Structure formats: structure tokens, C-alpha cells
């Protein structure tokens, strides 16, 4: 996938729900609730049981309506398996040269994880389509804004510590999109089958993203 196509899809989604579900069924049900609330970016992590089967089922249910990917990708096998199941982007928590090559070989969009300037440079050199700043909760929007100084053309997706209240600040600081985990779809809500709660939180995130993008254009 070329960079333009990969970034267009990521920018359109705006918010990527990072799912670490207790069970495969709960992951699928959570995606249904997220979509109902207006979130279209979904990352099924490999810490979710039967992650590839979840990806396959979500793709069957929602198709192109969901920008679907796999997260916590740490092996070449996972990268291929996820894309074969329907993932259109792959996310790794860090940056490893051999893994990056395997992820890119699948043809999917690739988002490598980084935190320091040196790691950002390595991820860019290896061909990442965007850099996942992780764990963003440790550094905050001000850190991302500082990174934009030496890296003005690098697309960043902070993940961790993003909520509906600070989402706009992250975008103002230079993020092309954000990844949200427990703040958007918590493991406890999934385990307790609180689908209405997940849908409501998704709507708050979707509304915050819509407000931020509207303000940016005005």
C-alpha cells in the first residue's frame, strides 16, 4: 500500500479503537458497539484470543465500513495471518527491522511503534507509513508537538492516554489520528457486556473528533 492511500484511510478514521478483549466473542460484540457509536477505525490486538478469527468475523460483518487492522504484531507469522484474515493495516508496539520488512511485504499499511527521536528515525528509514507514538500516556501532547520540530513531515499516531477530553489537543499537536484503548473500550466493560456503555463512549470520541476537525478547518 502506498503512503498516500494508507494515510488517507487513517485520517478519515481519525480514531482507532485498540481492542484488548478478554474473549473473541466479546471483541466482536465490542466492535459492533463501537461502530454503532461512530468509530470506524478498529485495531484487534494479538493479546485478544483468536485475534485472526476476530478480524475475519469483523470483516465479514462490517466490510469496508470499518478500517480494520491488527495490533501488537510481533512476528512475521502474525502479520501474514492478520492480512489473510482481512486486516488492512498492521501495528507493532516497537520497531524491529526484520519484522518491519515482513509487515511491509504483506502490502498492508504499516505503523511502527516509537517513542524517542532515534526510534522515530529508525521507523521512518524502515518504511513505516505512520509512526505510532507509544506509550503516549508517558509524554503527553506537548512531547508530540516538540517532535514535530525535527520531524515536520512524519505522520504520528499517539496511542495511550487519549480520551474524548484531550483528543482535540493531540490533533492540534500534530497527530494525524489517535489510538485509544481502555479509555474508549475497557476490558471490564467488555467482560461485563456493557455494550451500551461502549457505544456511548464511542459516540463521545466520535463527537470530539468531529469538533476538532471542524475547528481546524474554520
Active site residue 183: no
Q: Which of 43, 57, 81, 183 is catalytic?
A: 43
Nearest to 143 by CA among 111, 115, 180: 115
Residues 16, 7: Cα–Cα separation, whole Å: 13
State the sign of the Cα–Cα–Cα–Cα dihedral 163, 150, 128, 8: positive
Residues 138, 160: Cα–Cα separation, whole Å: 8
Active site residue 81: no
**Integer CA distances (angstroms), 153 to 103, 131, 178, in order:** 22, 11, 17
Q: Which of 57, 81, 132, 199 is catalytic?
A: 132
Burial 170-189 (b: 16+ CB within 10 A, else e): bbebbbbbbbbbebbbbbeb
Catalytic residue ranges: 43, 132
Amino acid at each position: 500500500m502506498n503512503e498516500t492511500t494508507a494515510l488517507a484511510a487513517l485520517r478519515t478514521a481519525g480514531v482507532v479503537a485498540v481492542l484488548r478483549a478478554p474473549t473473541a466473542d466479546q471483541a466482536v460484540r465490542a466492535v459492533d458497539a463501537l461502530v454503532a457509536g461512530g468509530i470506524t477505525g478498529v485495531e484487534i490486538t494479538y493479546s485478544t484470543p483468536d485475534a485472526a478469527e476476530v478480524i475475519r468475523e469483523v470483516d465479514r460483518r462490517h466490510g469496508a465500513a470499518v478500517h480494520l487492522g491488527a495490533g501488537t504484531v510481533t512476528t512475521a507469522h502474525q502479520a501474514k495471518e492478520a492480512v489473510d484474515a482481512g486486516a488492512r493495516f498492521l501495528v507493532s508496539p516497537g520497531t524491529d527491522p526484520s519484522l518491519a520488512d515482513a509487515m511491509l511485504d504483506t502490502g498492508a499499511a504499516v505503523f511502527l511503534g516509537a517513542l524517542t527521536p532515534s526510534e522515530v528515525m529508525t521507523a521512518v528509514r524502515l518504511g513505516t507509513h505512520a509512526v505510532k507514538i507509544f506509550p503516549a500516556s508517558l509524554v503527553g501532547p506537548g512531547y508530540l508537538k516538540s517532535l514535530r520540530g525535527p520531524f515536520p513531515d512524519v505522520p504520528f499516531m499517539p496511542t495511550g492516554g487519549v480520551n474524548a477530553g484531550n483528543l482535540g489537543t493531540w490533533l492540534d499537536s500534530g497527530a494525524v489520528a489517535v489510538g485509544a484503548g481502555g479509555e474508549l473500550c475497557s476490558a471490564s466493560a467488555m467482560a461485563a457486556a456493557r455494550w451500551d456503555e461502549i457505544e456511548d463512549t464511542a459516540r463521545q470520541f466520535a463527537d470530539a473528533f468531529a469538533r476538532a476537525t471542524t475547528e481546524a478547518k474554520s
